[in-house]
Amino acid sequence: MNQDRPVFTVSDINQYIKALISSDENLKYIYVKGEISNFKMASNGHFYFSLKDEKSLIGAMMFSNYAGRINFKPENGQEVVVFGSIDAYVGRGTYQIIVYQMEEVGAGQQLLELEKLKKKLLEEGLFDESRKRKINLYPNAIGVITAPNSAAIKDILFNIKRRYPIVDIYVFYSAVQGENAPKELLKAFELAQTYPLDTLLIGRGGGASEDLSAFNDETLVRAIANSKMPVIACIGHEIDSTLVDFVADKRASTPTAAAELATVDRREIEEKLSFALQDMEESLKSRIQGMKDDLSSYKEDLDLEIRQLVGHYQELLAHKKATLEALNPDNVINRGFSLTVDEQGKPVSDIKLVKKGQKIRTILKDGVINSEVIDTEKK
C-alpha cells in the first residue's frame, strides 16, 4: 500500500458526497412521480417511505409540519407526485428525498404541468439573475398589489410607514385566490404600470399550496418579466415557491419582509446623517485650523516682506537725500564756489543769458556781491 496517498474515513467520504448533493441546484425543489412503498408514520408525525417505479427506488422522508398539510392518507401502492430536495444521510451513507408537498396523481398532474411551464420559462431566460434589477431603497413611490382588508396589506403599510414614512404608497387591490384571481392580478398589475413607481410589491399572506395557483399564471408571469419598475414578490410562503417568485427581481418570504426589502429604515438614515454631520464638523474644524495656520504663516511672511521693503526704501531715501544734499547750492557755495543769478534770481549758467549793463548778483558763502555787467567775453 502506498503510504504517501491520503487515507479518508468513511465519514469523510459521506460528508463529501453530502456536500456535492447539497450544492447541486438540479437536486433542489424538484418534482418526482412514483409509487409509495414501505410507508411508516413515526410517533412524532414524520413520514418515512420509499418511492419506486418499474426500475428504481428512492428513500423519502416528510417532516410532520409538512405532513400535516396533505389532504389525503398516504398508503402503500398509491401513485403520488412529491415536491422536495435530495439530501444525503451521512450516518448511513444513503441519500433520500426530503418531501415538502405530496399530491395524488391527478391532482399531482397539475404539479407536473407547473413544472413543465417553469422549465419552459427558465429556458427562455425569464428567471435569469442577470435580468434582476436592484431595488431603490430611497423610493418616492411604492405600489402594492394584494387583497383588500387583508393582513398582508396591513403589515406592508405599517412596516413601510414605520421604516420610511416619507414615501407615497399606491395600493391596487385584487383577488389573490380563486378562479378570477389571475385576471384581477393582471389587471391590477397593468394599472400599476401607469404610475410613476420606484418599486412594486405583489403578493398575499400565507396559504395552502392550492391557494397560490393564481401566482403561477403564465400571462401574469410574462407581464412581470416586462415590468417598468422592479418587482418584489411576497407570496408569504417559505416552501411553496410560485413562478411569480422566480420572475420577480426580489423575493420576500412574508409581506413584512417585502416592506423591509423595499425601503431603508429611517433609523439607518438618521445614523448615517449623524455620522455625516460628525464627519462634516471634523472636516470644517480641520479646514478652519488649516486656514488659521496658513493665515499665521502668511502674516509672518508679509511682516518679513514689509520689513525688507521698508528697509530697502529707507536705504534708497538715504541715498537720494545724500545725493540731494550734495547738489544743494548752499553746500556747493560753502565749499568755496559762488552762484551768479540775474534780477529775477535765475542762475546765470550761460554767457548768452546776460547783457551789458544788466544787474547781476553773485552769492558767496558769507555774503552777496551786486554787480553790473560792463562787458561779456565768450570763450
- Burial of residue 230, with CB atoms counted within 10 A of its CB: 0-12 exposed, 13-18 middle, 19 or more buried: buried
User: How many beta carbons lie within 10 A of that of residue 166, not counting itself?
Assistant: 11
CA nearest neighbour of 39 among 29, 48, 30: 48
Grid cell, residue 45, equals 408525525
Q: pLDDT (tens digit, 0 to 9) for every residue of the chain, 379 residues total?
A: 556 778 889 988 889 988 998 888 899 999 999 999 889 999 999 999 999 888 889 999 999 999 988 888 898 888 899 999 999 988 888 899 999 999 887 655 666 788 889 999 999 999 999 999 999 989 999 999 999 988 889 999 999 999 999 999 999 999 998 889 999 999 999 999 999 999 999 988 876 666 788 999 999 999 999 999 999 999 866 556 789 999 999 999 888 899 999 998 877 777 777 777 888 888 888 888 888 888 888 888 888 889 898 888 888 888 888 887 776 666 666 666 778 888 888 887 788 888 888 888 888 778 888 888 888 887 7
Chain CA centroid to CA 240, Å: 32
Verdict on whether the full-model pTM lies above 0.85: no
The CA distance from 79 to 86, in Å, is 19
To the question of domain 132-264 being in CATH 1.10.287.3510, the answer is: no
Neighbours of 224 (CB within 10 A): 23
Cβ atoms of 182 and 243 closer than 8 Å: no
b (16+ CB within 10 A) / e for 49-63: bbbeeeeeeeebbbe
Instruction: Give me the helix-helix angle, 151-163 and 255-262, nearest 10°.
Output: 30
- DSSP H helical segments within the chain, as ranges? 10-23, 64-67, 107-123, 151-163, 181-192, 218-225, 243-247, 255-262, 266-327, 329-334
CATH T-level assignment (fold) for domain 10-123: OB fold (Dihydrolipoamide Acetyltransferase, E2P) (2.40.50)
